[in-house]
Amino acid sequence: MKLAASDFDGTLFKTDSICGEDIAAVREWRKAGHKFGVITGRDYGLLLPLLQHFGIESDFVVCNNGAILFDGTGRLLYQAPIDRDVVVALALQPCLAGSLHVAFSQGDKTYIFRNREGSWIFREAGQWNFPLQIISEADIAHLEGVQQLSLGFAAAEDAAACTRQLNELFGDRIIACQNRGSVDITSRTINKSQGIKKLLELMHWTEDRLYVIGDELNDLPMIRRFEGYAIASAREEIRREAKQTFPTVGSMLRQFI
């Protein structure tokens, strides 16, 4: 049995779609007895409707950059929340004022504080019927079990500045990772590499026949740790770190099936 874990946005899901080649290859991969899953910075509730729409069946899902894991039936396997006092302190930071949204991931729920025009979460929520719950600033102090905060900036330089500030102020307890205009914040030890390692441990799988593929900075930990692959449209620094590049996820699956 082989294992394949694909990043979602920019890797499997590009230009608001999943190509037919990738859909067919995932089906062939699983039919051959191998396991396939998605590893993403998204919330579970912001991912599942898309997988269902495009007919992608998975054997596992790693969401919020490794902070929460589900099996193929949607059963929660693992969750790594941020301490509540840190969540509150983060939400009050001045650099968040420019974000188009502040999203709090709690299990399979997404809570949103602030809704500004241009927010990708609200755009896709309208398009794909994502379940979002709007909260006020006063509600933030009562949230428990938040495993990720997500921000969205109109300008990548604003996202970069906020990322630097948050890591400088809270770097002993969280890690903020920028992908273009988005910023994802998780507990300090959480990343996609750790998420996969936890999955392997819980499922009693080994990594000797594991294939991972991605395109962005938050994919680097798993690409480095597991000698992974990059999509051809990935950032140059991601392609440099990857063992090989592929035009599509499907082409990687078919090479190793």
pLDDT tens-digit map of 173-197: 999 999 889 999 999 999 999 999 9
Q: Which two three-digit tokens encode residue 180?
A: 């273009």
Predicted local confidence at residue 108, as pLDDT: 86
Count Cα atoms within 13 angstroms, Cβ side, for 219: 33
Q: 168, exposed or middle or buried, with CB in 10 Å at 0-12, 13-18, 19+?
A: exposed
DSSP state of 171: T
Count Cβ atoms below 10 Å from residue 182 Cβ, excluding itself: 23
Residue 192 CA to residue 9 CA, distance in Å, equals: 14
Q: 73, exposed or middle or buried, with CB in 10 Å at 0-12, 13-18, 19+?
A: exposed
Helix H or strand E segment including 254: helix 249-256
Predicted local confidence at residue 115, as pLDDT: 79
Nearest to 206 by CA among 38, 63, 35: 35
Count Cβ atoms below 10 Å from residue 216 Cβ, excluding itself: 22
Residue 133 CA to residue 30 CA, distance in Å, equals: 35
Predicted local confidence at residue 126, as pLDDT: 87
Which residue type occupies 228? G
Chain center to CA of 256: 24
Residue 218 CA to residue 200 CA, distance in Å, equals: 19
Residue 189 CA to residue 151 CA, distance in Å, equals: 19
Residues β-bridged to residue 186: 175
Predicted local confidence at residue 198, as pLDDT: 97
CA angle 130–133–136, rounded 5-degree value: 145
Q: Which two three-digit tokens encode residue 81?
A: 């929340």
Alpha-helical regions (H) of 8-94: 20-31, 48-54, 84-91
Residue 114 CA to residue 135 CA, distance in Å, equals: 8
Task: Give backbone dihedrals phi and psi of 254, rounded to 5 degrees, phi first.
Answer: -70, -30
Chain center to CA of 219: 9
Helix H or strand E segment including 160: helix 156-170
pLDDT < 50 positions in the chain: none
Predicted local confidence at residue 247, as pLDDT: 97
